[in-house]
Structures are given as structure tokens and as C-alpha cells.
Amino acid sequence: MADHGVPHEENLTRRRVVMRGIGVVFGFIGAAVVVPLVGYFIGPAVRGMSSASWSPLGRAIPPTPRSSEPWVRVGDLGSFAQDMPTLVTVRIPAQDGLTQGDTPVAVYVRRTAADGATIFDVHCTHMGCSVEWNPGAQRFLCPCHGGVFDTDGRVLSGPAPRPLDRYATKVDGGVLYVGGLDLPGA
């Protein structure tokens, strides 16, 4: 083997530098995997949450923009059928991050009495999929993971951790208004 004037020890030094560089790269990759895992396991203790209220996937919070006005008109209360959820699109004036202007938001309106109504968010509380009202079964059904909710939004079966989220409502002069989303624990 020919000697090109490079001492043998210098080749070993280059090899060590390359090996250490590879070690640093693998160290960063390992940290990128380990740090989220540590957060997953100790997160509830750090946040002071009980293990019963903590979910590895977090809470499904509906992707609903926040209204820049406290109350938004939905429609005449008399136009909604008694105890029959109706899918309605409400135009909410929003200023939430990049969203500005009137934003269409789908909700289910259920008139509960001559002078009252319940407005449900359309998102399942499990993973945020849109629920659908099935008039034949008299149930809200989530097509993603089989969640079933009754006409009051209570969980009947499936993986949903809590009932359907509701909006604040008020009736003024026979007109139904929707307010903010009432999230449990928020």
C-alpha cells in the first residue's frame, strides 16, 4: 500500500470526527423521539390533571371560530320543529387568527319548548368528526367511529368521552340567538 505522505494517525482523527458527527445526528433523532414520549407519560402529572380526565389524544375541541359579537341571530324560533334537530348554517362574524368576516358555522337546532331551544355543535366529542341526525333512529350518529348520541346530545354508545357540545342560546321577541360554545372545563 502506497504512503501518500499522510500520517496514519490523521486518518484515524478524520474517522473519529465523522463518527462523532454521525453520533450527534443520531442523538438529535433519538431526542426527537424520546422527548414527546416523556411528555406523554408525565404530562398529566405536570398539568395537575387526574388520569381519569386525561386522554392520550387530548380533547377534541371543535374547530369553531370565535364570534366577534356576543349573540348572532339564528332565525325565528317558530320556524324550527318541536324536538326535531335541524341542521342550520349560521353566519358568525369572526375575527379568529386568519379568519375575518362572516364565517359559516353548521349547528343543530332543537326547539325544546314554545320558548326555548338547544343548539348543538356538529362535531363529535371523540375526534371531532361531523355527526349526522338520523330521523328514523332519532339519534345523532358519528360515521367515523360509531358514536351515538340521543336527542339531548347524551352519549348512548361509542368512544365519545362526553355529550355533544352546546352553544349558549337566548330567545328575544321570538327570535333565536346563538352565543359562545359552552365547553366543559373551559
Please tell me the predicted confidence (pLDDT) of residue 67.
Answer: 64
Residue bearing the bigger pLDDT, 159 or 36: 159
Q: For residue 2, give Cα distances in angstroms to 11, 12, 184.
A: 14, 17, 77
> Model confidence over 29-74: pLDDT tens digits?
999 988 888 877 776 565 555 444 545 444 445 556 666 678 889 9
Q: For residue 137, give Cα distances in angstroms to 83, 172, 180.
A: 14, 32, 29
Q: Is 109 helix (H, G, I), strand (E, B) or coil?
A: strand
Neighbours of 110 (CB within 10 A): 20
User: Quick one: pLDDT band at residue 79, thresholds 50, 70, 90?
Assistant: very high
User: Given a cut of 60, is residue 106 above it in pLDDT?
Assistant: yes
Mean pLDDT across 79-85? 91
| Amino acid identity for residue 101 in this structure | G
List phi, psi (to 5°) of 9: -65, -30
Please tell me the predicted confidence (pLDDT) of residue 176.
Answer: 94
Please tell me the predicted confidence (pLDDT) of residue 103.
Answer: 81
User: Given a cut of 60, is residue 123 above it in pLDDT?
Assistant: yes
